[in-house]
Amino acid sequence: MQELKDRIMRDGRCLEGGILKVDNFINHQMDPMLMKACAIEFVRLFANEKFNKIVTIEASGIAPAILVGSLLNLPVVFAKKKVPSTMDNYLMTEVFSFTKRRSYEIVVDKRFLGPNDRVLFIDDFLANGNAAKGVLDLVNKSGASLAGMGFIIEKAFQQGGEELRRQGIHVESLAIVESLDNCEIKLR
């Protein structure tokens, strides 16, 4: 998606360790017009898939997910990173965060994900794919099925995209970062 690629080149910053900082339009300040354009592109890319629900993980996935949901008139469920004390009937899985070098649990209430659901997963980044694999585990545990996974930015030099596609999952990324070597952003 050209508009997104132009924005990454203009406002994205490279951090040590292969991290792309996009906090002035995705991860801290958000650009709702760009997010909406991303959502329209997701809708186009997944037009041939059938699903009744959008799923994401808090926090940064919520904005693009909700815009996709609003375009398609579908509910959006976000997996939570803390178990609310008021939640008693939930599915849980563990996610290892490569960037934070620790594991965390994600949960979803069984009332919002079950055997009658077929879901589209939307998130901001695909790096190692651990967050995506965690959600896939929740989807499987719930008896739901997965229609596809859409990411705003995929880092092709990490293994997530390859692993998910090898499992036969329909993965779409709106911008693909080939390399951040020498703090130079190279997009596909």
List residues binding ligand G4P (CB under 6 A): 19-22, 27, 57, 59-61, 97-99, 124-131, 155, 160
Is the peptide bond between 59 and the residue preceding it cis, with omega within 30 degrees of 0? yes
Query: Strand, helix or coil at 173?
Result: strand
161-180 positions binding Na ion, by CB under 5 A = none
Distance CA 162, CA 143 (A): 25
- Binding Na ion (rule: CB under 5 A), the pick from 109, 124, 154, 172 is 124
- For strand 13-15 and strand 102-109, is the pairing parallel, antiparallel, or unpaired? unpaired
Q: Which is nearer to ligand G4P, 133 or 170 (CB)?
A: 133
- Binding Na ion (rule: CB under 5 A), the pick from 7, 51, 60, 153 is 60
Distance CA 43, CA 133 (A): 22
Q: What is the residue whose two structure tokens read 């002035």?
A: 24
Specify binding-site residues.
20, 27, 127-131, 155
Specify binding-site residues for xanthine.
20, 27, 155
Binding site for Na ion (CB under 5 A): 60, 124
